[in-house]
Homo-oligomer: A and B are copies of this chain.
Amino acid sequence: MSKLILFQGDSITDCGRGRDGDVYLGCGYPRLVQSSLGFDCPGEYEFINRGISGNRIVDVYARIKADIINLKPDYLSLYIGVNDVWHELGSKNGVATPKFEKIYSMLLEEVMEACPETKIFLIAPFAIKGGGTYNAEDTSYYEAFIKDLNEKIGAVKRVGEKFGLPVIELQPAFDNALKLAPDSYWTADGVHPTAMGHELIKRLWLETFEKIK
């Protein structure tokens, strides 16, 4: 019996995944994981991506039954947080960090209660300079973005520690990647990864998966 890996998150996870059934995982790190792990371990895993573009922690929380618990995944990969920052700056519709941390904890508690066998790991959000985060004429936007984002990263790490779950930290990995090639090589806009950026996430994902599987 193959084991089910569920990817949950926002647009970085969604990446144009199919909406009619769970066949096509989109063009992001979930499909890269599926390609690589699926090739190396034929038939051992099934992969479902239920990420939705624009989602904040409260949106994932709203979908907890249909898109997490009812699927009874063997593994849950949760990557959320950048829209909780971005939507505040863009349209005053974000989620402040204390609430982010609270809802994130509630979500995990409920999943762990309903699916005690599910192995969960968390991916903390990242951002680098790019068209969606940085404006040379008004650097205060970028500063506010990074400040709030760092708070979100801290919250995900605290939540991971609280529940004893591994947390993949993308920010240092992308900061390091910037030493090798410019921002546009790794993301389209400071937030959405290119093919190479998704590969970076995939490789960290697989490293973490090897440890907990």
A contacts, CB < 8 Å to B: 24-27, 31-32, 34-36, 38-39, 42-43, 177, 180-181, 185, 194-196, 198-200, 202-203
| Residues A42 and B198 in contact, CB atoms below 8 Å apart | no
**Nearest B residue (CB) for A193:** B35
Question: Given A27-B31, A31-B27: A43 and B195 within 8 A (CB)?
Answer: no
Contact (Cβ within 8 A) B185 A43: yes
Query: Do B196 and A31 touch across chains, with their CB atoms under 8 A apart?
Result: no
Listed A/B pairs (11) with beta-carbon separation below 8 Å:
A27-B27, A27-B31, A34-B195, A34-B196, A35-B196, A38-B185, A38-B199, A39-B199, A42-B177, A43-B180, A43-B185
Note all chain B residues with C-beta closer than 8 A to A39.
196, 199-200, 203
Which residues does chain B contribute within 8 Å of A180, judged by CB atoms? 42-43
Chain B nearest CB from A203 CB (Å) reads 7
- Please report the C-alpha to C-alpha distance between residue A36 and residue B9 in the assembled complex, in whole angstroms: 23
Contact of A198 among B35, B185, B203 (CB under 8 A): B35
